[in-house]
Chain A
Amino acid sequence: MSAKRQFRIWRGDETGGDLQDYMVEVNEGEVVLDVIHRLQATDAPDLACRWNCKAGKCGSCSMEINGKPRLGCMTRMSTFGDEETVTVTPLRTFPVIRDLVTDVSFNYEKARETPAFAPPADVAPGDYRMQQVDVERSQEFRKCIECFLCQTVCHVIRDHDENKQAFSGPRYFIRAAELDMHPLDSRTDRKEYAQAEQGLGFCNITKCCTEVCPEHIKITDNGIIPMKERVVDRRYDPLVWLGSKIFRRGETPQTSVTTARQGSATPGSARGGVHSHAGGSHDPRAEAQAQSGVNWHREVPHPTAPSVDDRGKLPLTELTFDRAAAPSPFGDDVTFPLPPEHLNFAHPEQDNKH
């Protein structure tokens, strides 16, 4: 059973190019990569496209199909409607070499910068002993086939070349996580490294990487978030941080978080629509603080869930998305500049005026 189907494929190189239309025969049971191979054998012998195993194991045939980053060998034609045009474009985050082939050397540079496994000094080859349960956590990340779909989908670098210098991307966060969780790795600074050198802090956990991973690695839940949490544990314990702020300002310890929260619980929770980082309050001292520019007790809007589609997923598909770039990491409903009363900012000279 075969039929002619409409394909639109981006052809060109670094100097430019455009989508070209092809009518191509598609047989039952084929995937997008089969169709591209047929095009190479017929209408477009020089159509450039990477591939190797054609079994979802090597991660070579990464491309964007109808706007979504996917593996060509794992995208079945039966998932499209009979009349649907299939649009195939190169990975958007990386520079085009030709047609569907992009220059992915960014990833190999980041790989080289990530410190390698550090073997334990006193264990001879053959004497490594590890429990299955302990190796499994790292094994999940070692399933990675380096298709770089998570790298291309990540909004931190997808339309922001300027972030590439400072940001390694999800692939290398899970590499750091893998080594961090390796039972016998002798380095202890994997998390700090991820934070300081890989730009882990740029990630605001939109989970697009997890969404596109063909190996179903839980990149954010099992890799990035644990790395962030532990980085936070060490560097940003909120009590320590807040305490140091308060004491530096010469206040008494009575404004500790617990006290403030107890005193303010009623109004905030009664309305249900607002909450407060430090416990919403209307007491005079808080008002005074607010006037001096630092309002620890201000009521801030509840974080709202991002808008999702009918499958409960984030819109990754630019073709159907209502704007040109990725969603704002601050939420699309936030406009800049923010109103000054919503900022926790104390001018260095403000105290002197009072």
Chain B
Amino acid sequence: MTTTTRIERHHYDVVVIGAGGAGLRAAIEARLAGKKTAIISKSLFGKAHTVMAEGGAAAAMGNVNSRDNWQVHFRDTMRGGKFLNNFRMAELHAKESPQRIWELETYGALFDRTKDGKISQRNFGGHEYPRLAHVGDRTGLELIRTLQQKIVSLQQEDQREFGSYDARIRVFSETTITELLLDGDRVAGAFGYYRESGEFVLFEAPAVVLATGGVGRSYKVTSNSWEYTGDGHALALRAGATLINMEFLQFHPTGMVWPPSVKGILVTESVRGDGGVLKNSDGKRFMFDYVPDVFRKQYAETEEEADRWYTDPDNNRRPPELLPRDEVARAINSEVKAGRGSPAGGVFLDIASRRSADEIRRRLPSMYHQFKELADVDITAEPMEVGPTCHYVMGGVEVDPDSGAAFGHVRGLFAAGEVSGGMHGSNRLGGNSLSDLLVFGKRAGGHAASYADGLAARPKVAVDAVEAAVETALAPLQRDTGESPYTLQQDLQVVMGDLVGIIRREGELADALRRLAELRERVAKVSAFGGRRYNPGWHLALDLRNMLVVSECTAKAALERQESRGGHTREDYPAMEPKWRQVNLVCSLDGDTVQLTRKPLPKMRPELIGLFDRAELGKYLTDEELADFDALVADAGEADNR
């Protein structure tokens, strides 16, 4: 049995857990502030899920349309999130993202260019002007590689100054943190294991930045990588922090469901924008049956009109395939439940019969190549089988907007990126996540550094806490009677996918909570076969605990919120309720039980709410809030007159 005295120990000022965009940006900032910084990466350095981001990074630089500015970006973000966003985060994000993008160029990034040599920006759903800085369809890879190479360049500086690359910033690759260690209410360190050797490692540090990404691996169909097991969410909860907005998950309506080699992978919306249509197993173009009343005026009623729109959008209405993501996802869901789905449980997305092979290859080159190479599916010759896929979690650690410091009763804990909550409200706009990583990664890293500076004495790691963490980590290897972690993960995925998926109902959610409680008992008894050296079964057994507690948060919050908004759709409460907009659902942990409380949203500052017109606010705000707004406008008018 390993004793605590034999565990490898490291001392750092700031430990960043997660090596995606947010983590690397936070680490760069902490190192630039002179702090000794560790980066903990669950995978190899540079493999983070950020590489999957295709579209781009939203920043109101105004390179393509000079009318764009931070106010417009702020408005778009709030609208996209259905006004549930933390307004201060949306404001900071809109103001600071251009600098964060420009800064990347000084690290060596090469974005696509405009004719006059500036960074090119592309249109994207929900953004009023072309706003996404991009590199073809591999913007996320460019971002990761740039930050990775910046860290290397900082290490080279340290090598020249101190004779060691690792003197002030070190990457611990393939290392998983299983527990945060506290001294009273202060973070004192982090405990984990090297995946390669299975040996334990203890980081003693007064400040920890969580940048662990999302939770998608709890779902059957997901575009997320294996790392997305909600580690940061769970670590924060267990350390006494709180989570908000956990009911909001973004499902992309068209993920591939067949063949298995590409299950979950996104089929970009431009397939539908370029003429692709959705059909059920009867060959019927079913979206015409699912146009909600509020959209009736903007969408075509006949196939003929819809088909004319592609060439003449001014005189025809849009095809219903281009309804917002949640409407399309809901329609696909209904068709499948009514037994009109494809063999693999999706519907057919057909562009092959509608456009020539040449045209498809020209307009959708990366889609064509991706499916040809990964799955031998020729999208110019046959329809795709698609269905909703879990893509992004809006919810996460409740943080102070300016510093990224976690709320709840813990100090020294910071969070940035997908693991933090609030920025995107109930629904994230495409392109806002890459800029989110940079803006709040930098802020969290900087504030973690100054927090570490301000401490009079270093918090101490308690020996018994380390012993407990060792025991928890080794438990699955020492049991041989429990179930396989793979079976348990599959069962969890079924519960979440079927009962807490894209469309939710009270009965199903209550059922999900019962099943999650059963799973909790089974997970507590999980056993892993084999030794400690690079044993994926053991790793999964340890991740399951995190996936389970985060799933419970999602299910509880989804049951509580009796309305439909953004990434949370309740079939039994289909409307958006202004009263619910004033409420954040906050999850915390009491012992090992998830507690849910309601908390009012912070009130938007007058100059920010003044950016919207009353007609738009009318859709989101309660009557009292609208009265306040009117009074505000009247005051401003009087002030002008005086």
Contacts and interface: CB of A to CB of B under 8 A. Distances in A.
B346 interface: no
A145 B487 CA distance: 32
Nearest to B527: A45
Nearest to A41: B486
A201 interface: no
Contact of A55 (B48, B108, B262): B262
B374 A73 contact: yes
A98 B195 CA distance: 11
A74 B372 CA distance: 10
A311 interface: no
B584 to A, nearest CB: 32
A57 interface: yes
Interface residues of B, number: 71
B137 to A, nearest CB: 10
Interface string B507-538: 00000000000000000000011110111111
A54 B48 CA distance: 12
* Residue of B46, B110, B153, B370 most packed against chain A (CB within 10 A): B110
A56 B225 contact: no
Interface in A1-54: 13, 27-31, 33-34, 40-41, 45-54
B484 A117 contact: no
A94 to B, nearest CB: 12
A41 B141 contact: no
Interface stretch (A108-116, A204-212, A281-289, A330-338): A108-116
* Residue of B120, B370, B376 most packed against chain A (CB within 10 A): B376
Interface residues of A, number: 62
A59 B530 contact: no
Contact of A40 (B43, B112, B155, B536): B536
Nearest to B105: A128
Contacts of A225: none
Contacts of B162: none
B373 interface: yes
B112 A117 contact: no
Given A31-B261, A46-B530, A108-B45, A131 B538 contact: no
A97 to B, nearest CB: 5
Given A47-B536, A73-B374, A58 B47 contact: yes
Contacts of B105: 125, 128
A33 B263 CA distance: 13
Interface in A94-133: 97-99, 101, 103-104, 108, 111-112, 114-117, 119, 125-126, 128-132
Given A50-B44, A135-B110, A142-B110, A45 B51 contact: no
Nearest to B54: A57
A55 to B, nearest CB: 5
Nearest to A123: B106
Contacts of B259: 28-30
B103 A138 contact: no
A218 B173 CA distance: 29
Nearest to A13: B533
B153 A117 contact: yes
Contacts of B112: 132, 135
A126 B98 contact: yes
A30 B152 contact: no
B533 A59 contact: no
B152 A116 contact: yes
B530 to A, nearest CB: 3
B196 interface: yes
A146 interface: yes
B529 A112 contact: no
Contacts of A145: 51, 141
Interface string B135-161: 110100110010001101101100100
Given A45-B486, A182-B108, A112 B156 contact: yes
Interface in A128-156: 128-132, 135, 138-139, 142-146
B374 A45 contact: no
A30 B113 contact: no
Contact of B51 (A27, A41, A58, A128): A58
Nearest to A179: B108
Given A76-B375, A112-B165, A46 B531 contact: yes
A78 interface: yes
Interface in A174-215: 179, 182, 185
A41 B226 CA distance: 14
A46 B529 contact: yes
A168 interface: no
A111 B152 contact: yes
A34 B258 CA distance: 13
B51 A53 contact: yes
* Residue of B135, B225, B531 most packed against chain A (CB within 10 A): B225
Nearest to A45: B537
Interface in B257-290: 258-262, 265
28 contacts: A30-B261, A31-B261, A40-B486, A40-B536, A41-B490, A46-B530, A46-B538, A51-B226, A52-B48, A53-B51, A55-B265, A57-B51, A57-B52, A57-B138, A73-B261, A73-B374, A97-B533, A104-B44, A108-B45, A112-B152, A114-B152, A116-B150, A117-B107, A117-B108, A119-B108, A126-B99, A129-B116, A144-B145
Given A55-B370, A76-B376, 5 more contacts: A29-B259, A31-B261, A46-B529, A60-B43, A143-B138
